[in-house]
């Protein structure tokens, strides 16, 4: 799994990058076929935004979140991605 972190109007620190990689690493628990993850961290005035595009086998998943704290935005974004990956996995394994 390849994780790339980009900052828009913000300097991506080592702590932020490590936090993102730890949280994104938890996505592997549910679905092994995650190939590429691109995370964009944005600061606009008082809003901290985290968005991610995840390439899995057969689909591209996107999630974003806006909070006052960057770490809270990252946590909520990963939770959204987690739910999407579980739903995608259930769809692919459905044998009707």
Out of 24-33, 64-73, 76-85, least confident range: 24-33
Cα 14 to Cα 5, 17, 74: the distances in Å are: 11, 5, 15
- 1 pLDDT higher than 90: no
pLDDT, tens digit, 9 for 90 and up, residues 11-63: 999 999 999 999 988 888 877 778 889 999 999 989 999 999 999 887 899 99
Query: What is residue 66's predicted lDDT score, i.e. its pLDDT?
Result: 95
What pLDDT shows up at residue 96? 63
* 14 secondary structure, DSSP code: H
Total domains present in the chain: 1
Size of the chain, expressed as the number of residues it contains: 96
Domain that holds residue 83: 2-93
CATH number of the domain that residue 39 is part of:
3.30.160.100
Dihedral in degrees, nearest 10, Cα atoms 59, 65, 50, 82: -40
């Amino acid at each position: 799994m390849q994780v790339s972190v980009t900052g828009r109007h913000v300097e991506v620190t080592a702590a932020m990058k490590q936090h993102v990689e730890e949280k994104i690493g938890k996505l592997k628990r549910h679905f092994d076929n995650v190939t590429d993850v691109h995370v964009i961290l944005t600061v606009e005035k008082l809003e901290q935004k985290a968005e991610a595009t995840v390439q899995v086998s057969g689909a591209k998943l996107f999630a974003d979140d806006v909070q006052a704290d960057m770490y809270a935005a990252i946590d909520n974004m990963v939770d959204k991605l987690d739910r999407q990956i579980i739903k995608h996995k259930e769809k692919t394994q459905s044998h009707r």
